[in-house]
Chains A and B, each alone.
Chain A
Amino acid sequence: GAVVSQHPSRVICKSGTSVKIECRSLDFQATTMFWYRQFPKQSLMLMATSNEGSKATYEQGVEKDKFLINHASLTLSTLTVTSAHPEDSSFYICSARAPLTGDAGELFFGEGSRLTVL
Chain B
Amino acid sequence: GQNIDQPTEMTATEGAIVQINCTYQTSGFNGLFWYQQHAGEAPTFLSYNVLDGLEEKGRFSSFLSRSKGYSYLLLKELQMKDSASYLCAAMDSNYQLIWGAGTKLIIKP
Q: How far is the CB of B35 from chain A (nearest CB, A)?
A: 8
B window 32-49: CB within 8 A of A: 33, 40-45, 48
Q: Is the interface of B mostly helix, strand, loop or mixed?
A: loop
Total interface residues on B, using CB and 8 Å?
Answer: 21
Chain A proximity mask over B67-109: 1 for CB below 8 Å, otherwise 0: 0000000000000000000010001000111011110100000
Residue from A44, A46, A93, A108 with most neighbouring chain B CB atoms (10 Å): A44
In Å, the complex CA distance between A115 and B65 comes to 39
In Å, the complex CA distance between A112 and B87 comes to 16
Is B87 in contact with A43, judged by CB distance below 8 angstroms?
A: yes
Question: Could you count the A-B residue pairs with CB atoms below 8 Å apart for me: how many are there?
Answer: 45
Is B42 in contact with A43, judged by CB distance below 8 angstroms?
A: no
Q: How far is the CB of B93 from chain A (nearest CB, A)?
A: 13
Chain B proximity mask over A77-118: 1 for CB below 8 Å, otherwise 0: 000000000000001010001000000111111111010000
Give which listed residue, A1, A41, A110, A112, contacts B45 with CB less than 8 A. Answer: A1
Give which listed residue, A41, A106, A108, contacts B48 with CB less than 8 A. Answer: A106
Interface: A54 (CB within 8 A): no
Q: How far is the CB of A49 from chain B (nearest CB, A)?
A: 8
